[in-house]
Amino acid sequence: MEGSSIAFKDDVSIVLCGEAGLGIQTVEQILMRLLKRAGYHIFGTKEYMSRIRGGSNSTAIRVSSERRPALVDRIDLLIPFDPGAVDHVRKRLSPETVMIGDRENLAVDEGAVTPRTVAIPLSELAAEIGGAVYSNIIAAGLVAGLFDIAEDEVLPFVEAFFSQSNETVRKRNTQAAAKGLELAGELRTSGRIAVEVARDSRHGKDILLNGAEAVGIGALAGGCDFIAAYPMSPATGVLTFLSQQAETFGIVAEQAEDEIGAVNMTLGAWYAGGRAMVTTSGGGFALMEEGISLAGIIENPAVIHLAQRPGPATGLPTRTEQGDLNLVLYAGHGEFPRIILAPGRLEEAVELTRRAFDLADRFQVPVFVLTDQYFIDSYYTLPDIEIPRGNPVTHVVETGAEYARYRITDTGISPRGIPGYGSGLVAMDSDEHDEAGHITEDLHVRVAMMEKRLRKLRKIENEALPPTLVGREDYTTLVLGWGSTYHVIAEALSILGREDVSFLHFSQVYPLPAETKDYLKQAGRIIVVEGNATAQFARLLTLKACCPVPHNILKYNGMQFSVEELVERLGAVIDGGE
């Protein structure tokens, strides 16, 4: 119903949708930063096709009076930038949705839900300014104006955002933003659209961060001085971020010729005394498995960030999934210890990535930081993040003449030297070796070396991070999740409001923390929520915690769970009986 008045309150879901190449990401970046500076809580995420132009991509920005960093299906305000946009998100529309844009982009199929529409000739107005390309900046100014962000905040920001462009482009973008503000003023004054979302200027100082930046910051805090990768979405953002910090923090950033080269460069950097990380996604990691096995036998530290996406093979290269847990858990031929961390919150990604470097250094094992496309590409506002001050503690020893790289110890952890630091020889070999690092086929030595390496697991298990319990301790139903499902499960359970249901989130998925069995034994009903088709984490719980999981809520279409979806699916299991 065009022109009817509507008020947006407390929690507003904005979606921008259109073909790749129309500048949707530019609008996203401008709006999120303007809204954050104005004192709103922001959450933003995107879904996009694997093409440079065409298709349909969308960005969702959630603006709230309280921090709500989770995806919702609901669309309150839709700005479609092409005729196909409405059809792309049609299942998320409702009669309460308001669509704003060119009239030809607002058409809804007959018989479908009919949202409210506000026709504004964005393309025509953009052409008057200098070209249709400026319609997206008009839209950015329009949304900023609806949220009552003043002109003296918007226009200087837009001009600074395009500071690398020539004077004509900067001027036209500023004019476009001003036109958007003018349109918003007309809508607000006429009472057609009102926004009632509380804001607090103190939140303007919050940090706006995405998952790739959080992993990168954690790497810096962990002392990372070498990053190697072959570009592969969605992991490339970590390589890009650390490359941008290379000069400031003294990082060597290497875009390798392939993933095999990248992982071996990482091992070489640790061998030489560096603190290195490789970042990749599932298909790239598949090529690294021999290098992971090499790390296992030479007991070389390694930090591997793997941003999951749907497979097999190329699969859905720009979508999300939690489908690579088994890949990481069993990667590399032979048997050797490893650690798998899976942050669920951005602040946790900072801490766990920092911790990954410490664990790799201490235990001389591969440590995996497991994320996914949804986590890596999502932004939200945070208060200041606490990062330990001072240089990371290293566990390298100065070698002597009698140094033995693989000296057998009670813990399985041998003293790690590096070439040139001391008088000893630091010998490593991918064949089985004796304490000095020399090749051997002595079967007794083989057994001793295998047992030495595996003894590390006991200490690693003793130091495993405990899971986080959200809710009451006297639960009867326990919902389990890992990695990026944290916020969406927590909000869904908050909406359900069941005091007998609590949520247990695992940020270390291997080795499982010792407390796991106690939590599971208490529950009368266990539900595992994860984004894959075969319940990989639930099967790990069955294997390692001896606890069958009868209820699995799975998703594997390439999209993250939404709050509404989990409210419905969890509610059905909780209220459905056994």
**401/369 same-domain check:** no
**146/189 same-domain check:** yes
Would residue 389 count as lying in a domain?
Answer: no
Question: What local confidence, expressed as pLDDT, does residue 192 receive?
Answer: 87
Cβ-contact 357, 517 below 8 angstroms: no
- Sequence-ordered list of residues with C-beta below 8 angstroms from that of 183, at least 6 positions apart, any chain: 120, 138, 141, 142, 145
**247/278 same-domain check:** yes
Which residues on neighbouring strands pair with residue 504, listed in sequence order?
Answer: 469, 480
**504/457 same-domain check:** no
Q: Work out the burial of residue 423: count CB atoms within 10 Å of its CB; fewer than 13 is exposed, 13-18 middle, 19 or more buried.
A: exposed
**224/330 same-domain check:** yes
**187/95 same-domain check:** yes
CATH code of residue 12:
3.40.920.10
**322/437 same-domain check:** no
Domain housing 497:
468-575
Question: What local confidence, expressed as pLDDT, does residue 4 receive?
Answer: 53
* Stretch (H or E) spanning 309: none
In one-letter notation, the amino acid at residue 547 is C
Cβ-contact 138, 182 below 8 angstroms: no
Q: Measured between alpha carbons, how far is 181 from 151 in angstroms, rounded to an integer?
A: 7
Q: Name the one residue in this structure whose structure tokens are 């990372």.
A: 224
Cβ-contact 382, 207 below 8 angstroms: yes
Q: Measured between alpha carbons, how far is 294 from 299 in angstroms, rounded to an integer?
A: 8
**457/407 same-domain check:** yes
Would residue 387 count as lying in a domain?
Answer: no
Q: Measured between alpha carbons, how far is 16 from 20 in angstroms, rounded to an integer?
A: 12
- CA–chain centroid gap for 558, Å, is 14
Write a three-state SS string for 45-94: EEECCCCCCEEEEEEEEEEECCCCCCCCCCCCEEEECCCCHHHHCHHHCC
**492/565 same-domain check:** yes
- Render 147-180 in DSSP notation, one character per residue: TT--HHHHHHHHHHHTTTS-HHHHHHHHHHHHHH
- Count of CB atoms situated within 10 Å of the CB of 559: 18
**137/168 same-domain check:** yes
Low-confidence ranges of the chain (pLDDT < 70): 1-5, 577-578
Question: What local confidence, expressed as pLDDT, does residue 52 receive?
Answer: 72
Would residue 360 count as lying in a domain?
Answer: yes
Q: Measured between alpha carbons, how far is 305 from 281 in angstroms, rounded to an integer?
A: 8
Q: CA Rg, the chain, in Å?
A: 26
Task: Name the nearest CA neighbour of 556 among 321, 314, 372.
Answer: 321
Question: What local confidence, expressed as pLDDT, does residue 175 receive?
Answer: 97
Q: Name the one residue in this structure whose structure tokens are 């499960």.
A: 489
- Sequence-ordered list of residues with C-beta below 8 angstroms from that of 21, at least 6 positions apart, any chain: 52, 53, 54
Look at residue 497 and give its three-state secondary structure: coil
Q: Where are the alpha helices (DSSP H) in 546-577?
A: 563-575
Q: How far is CA 382 from CA 40, 66, 202, 216, in A?
A: 11, 11, 12, 16
What's the structural domain count of the chain? 4
| 309's tokens | 């996406």
Q: Measured between alpha carbons, how far is 26 from 95 in angstroms, rounded to an integer?
A: 28
Question: What local confidence, expressed as pLDDT, does residue 5 receive?
Answer: 65
| 412's tokens | 């399985």
**376/504 same-domain check:** no
